[in-house]
Structure 1
């Protein structure tokens, strides 16, 4: 989720007001429009509409996990981190919030607000892990926390504490977390928004908390807008999905989904043309088209039928909704959506 329309790290009051109003409008999860599904024959380089979803599809910064029983849980930005569920990846229903009684430990970072950002939900070792961020617009005085649950249900989550925080003197922003477990069983937390870009820290697999002091740089645009990392392995590569440009402007949002890849979870990541993501590179996979505005803050899961891309987009009305598309890979191993 974009918080830093930064010129030397400065956010205008008008932009903050507009972005906050947009986000508050999206915090509740409501039924959205039904958009015609694209066909699997959509060629690479053309952008399909989202697949058909129904019910509680009003969302922002969705993160999705498949449950052991075969259903889906969606965690998203909003007051106390709203949840929704689906049995079939098509029909969704509201399912309460992660912290229905609030999360008092976050308010020092949110200015007292209950609005928490950009959760990352996954299922590991018999329980659900939820990394999420607390901050205010335009500030990198931010924090990422961890909660765990054995069921994923509203109110079942246990606060596990702070994972990493950032301060105004730092050149990064501790928001937009994403957990990756590599083929060697090592845990990594990817995070970041604007400033100097996307970062990565090692985690202790036993606790899910930070291990050591190393911070790697995975991607950046020289201060330009980049955020929402999602690092997923497919085949012999790790694909780093990010969002470029601006969220939270309703139908004027310019978010777009980009990707790079590496044979290592630590990079270096390059795009299709060989440009390093740390040098502003990125191969575009999805962008606004027609009545689909600013698709981004993506998450990727591997499902029984395909890899699946979840994201939010804005309708002409300025309301944000859940987008779902399948992912294909061309002969060179680069992803496209259909």
Structure 2
């Protein structure tokens, strides 16, 4: 009888362990990609943080992309320090991995989006080496009312590359890139995809209100879905981040929310917001793995002093084709 009770206890303990939530690793502005069965997560941090996982539950820290700050970035952006690089975007095309990243001084639009490439993400491979291509676009105070951070590469139906980006100021922008992705296509055309009301008295050196950033465009079922984040990140327990979405038949827009309001006019259908367990959630990306869609984002953990953690949730779509988080953040 005693042996039976011990066996039962072991079974219960094993089941409990199996049902435990995956470990919550530190992350900010996470993006995800899979190579040869291994997932790689890139995020904001010193030199761009990198983690790897075989199952999206157990994660291993990898070496950062940059051991030291790119020399061009230190010269181009006064106030950039400590090799702290923001909001990467990872994609694969024609034999190369493309990693866009943001160089900026907090609260200013003195910013650049850079690009690095690699033939593999496996740090143990002999051909593993990040090659920095330098700046792709730059925002300049006194010239631009937009902010060159938070890049996301997307290709249209013809395969042409476009870069969405932006934070605060005049909102989310879109520009077509050259085939090698190292700069805007000619002639340059800069489009606004989404914005929020902003005090017109504010200058280009003040972000102020109009809290919108972190675009990610995902194509599904004949639509381009523009996900973006409203309100305020990076404030721990005071964070109010939330994710919204609009969609368009054309990559260049106009993007409308579920009520038919244009995102360029402040519209946006809520996807997910914070609660008592997560103060704020946002800066998301969306992926399809093995015929299932996933929402990847960071949240400010109420059980850990509002520290930023990686979250991955299953994403489904309602009868009208709007995204629904299958398991809401609890």
- Give the aligned partner of residue 27 of structure 1: none
* Aligned position for 1:322: 310
Q: 2:23 aligns with which of 37, 54, 58?
A: 54
Matching residue of 1:337: 325
Matches within 5 A, 1:3-152: 52-54=21-23, 57-67=25-35, 69-108=36-75, 109=77, 110-152=79-121
Q: What is the alpha-carbon distance in structure 2 between the residues aligned to residue 283 and residue 112 of structure 1?
A: 36
1:148-167 equivalences in 2 (<5 Å): 148-153=117-122, 156-167=129-140
Give secondary structure in 1 for the equivalent of 2:281: strand
CA contact (8 A) 1:98 1:153 kept: no
SS of residue paired to 2:256: coil
| SS of structure 2 residue aligned to 1:54 | coil
Tell me, yes or no, if the aligned pair for 1:98 and 1:156 is still in contact at 8 Å.
no
Aligned with residue 215 of structure 1, among 190, 194, 206: 190
Deviations 1:219-278 (A, max 9, x none): 000231000000010111000000000000102200001000001111000000000000
SS across alignment from 1:172:
coil
Q: State the shift of 1:301 in Å.
A: 1.0
Alignment equivalent of 1:268, drawn from 240, 254, 274:
254
**2: CA distance between counterparts of 1:211 and 1:113?**
32
Q: Which residue of 2 aligns with 1:251?
A: 237
What is the aligned residue count? 288
CA contact (8 A) 2:68 2:83 kept: no
1:176 equivalenced with 2:150 (yes/no): yes
Identify unmatched segments of 5+ residues in structure 2.
1-17, 199-209
| Structure 1 match to 2:174 | 200
Quickly say closer, same or farther: Cα 1:156–1:52, change in 2 above 3 A.
farther
User: CA 1:203–1:81 in 2, change beyond 3 Å: closer, same or farther?
Assistant: same
Q: What is the CA-CA distance between 1:210 and the residue it aligns to?
A: 2.0
Does the CA-based 8 Å contact 1:245-1:254 persist in structure 2? yes
Q: How big is the shift at 1:331?
A: 0.3
Q: Which residue of 1 aligns with 2:202?
A: none
Does 1 or 2 have the higher relative contact order (CA < 8 Å, sep 6+)? Answer: 1
2:13 corresponds to which residue? none
Question: In 2, distance between residues paired with 1:304 and 1:130?
Answer: 23
Q: For residue 91 of structure 1, give the secondary structure of its aligned residue in structure 2.
A: coil
Gapped regions of structure 1 (runs ≥ 5): 1-35, 38-50
The answer on whether the counterparts of 1:308 and 1:325 sit within 8 Å (CA) in structure 2 is: yes
